[in-house]
Amino acid sequence: MADKHLIALDLDGTLLKDDKTISLKTKEILRKARNAGHVVMIATGRPYRSSELYYRELELDTPIVNFNGAFMHNPSNHKWGFYHEPLDVKVAKDIVEACRSFQFHNIIAEVIDEVYFHYHDEKLLDIFSMGNPKVTTGDLSNFLKDSPTSLLIHTEEDQLKDIRQHLSDVHAEVIDHRSWAAPWHVIEIIKTGLSKAVGLKKASEYFNIPPERIIAFGDEDNDLEMLEYAGYGVAMGNGIDTVKNIANEVTLTNEEDGVGVYLADLLNLKL
């Protein structure tokens, strides 16, 4: 397969094993793919500060999609462009006020690399501290001044449906929201119309690689649009059923080198 392909990689549950590392086998296949002229990039829900480690490990020089499409840039080429589409701060504060009518553990707002916690939370602080962000704790109605890249509501499983229903009823025109995978009962909110596919389209146009030559891997509902956009939408063996149903193909799990094995076969790269 001589044509140049764009390979888009989700991180958690896809490229990364359960211990949050990249297997040596998959890393070697990705290196061979790049040497063969294919373009490798990351598309993740994570902020850049907690995905930079993997970007550097793979020695990438490509754009990266963060916050599920709400932020995109090229760390290796600052002239490439800087795309940031945050949620309107007024909408974010309206959601914070509405949450007072529901039970929730915490609300976290991220403004690229600044993190705002509604309540102090040691466990979540540990998760969000990767990359040493500036952290502010206090009622978001007072402390949040800038439009957030994303808003996260940490709640109990039995509250998820009710909160998401409220968000759909009141804010459907201006936000999109998704749930994280278990064990975290988290609702993630970004500006409407954004997805990893939006970032992938920018990269596709920049590299002049049409969608039919894009290979995208994912496992969760924040990968749906990206897998639908790509000519080769590949679900991980450990992915949720919704992802497997819309994918063109299903590969092995993230623990079984699903990404590497699929690429080695499709692109004729020797393991």
Query: Is 221 known to be catalytic?
Result: no
Of 89, 97, 96, 15, which Cα lies nearest the Cα of 57?
Answer: 15
What is 2-35 written as a DSSP string? -S--EEEE-IIIIIS-TTS---HHHHHHHHHHHH
Burial of 53 (0-12, 13-18, 19+ CB in 10 A): middle
Q: List, in order, residues 6 or more apart from 176 with CB less than 8 Å away.
A: 189, 190, 191, 192, 193, 194, 195
Query: Out of 3, 10, 12, 121, which one is annotated catalytic?
Result: 10
Backbone angles phi, psi at 40, to 5 degrees: -115, 130
Q: In angstroms, how far is the first alpha carbon of the chain from the final one?
A: 16
Distance CA 63, CA 206 (A): 10
- As given in the structure block, the two tokens for residue 83 are 């795309």
Q: Which residues are catalytic?
A: 10
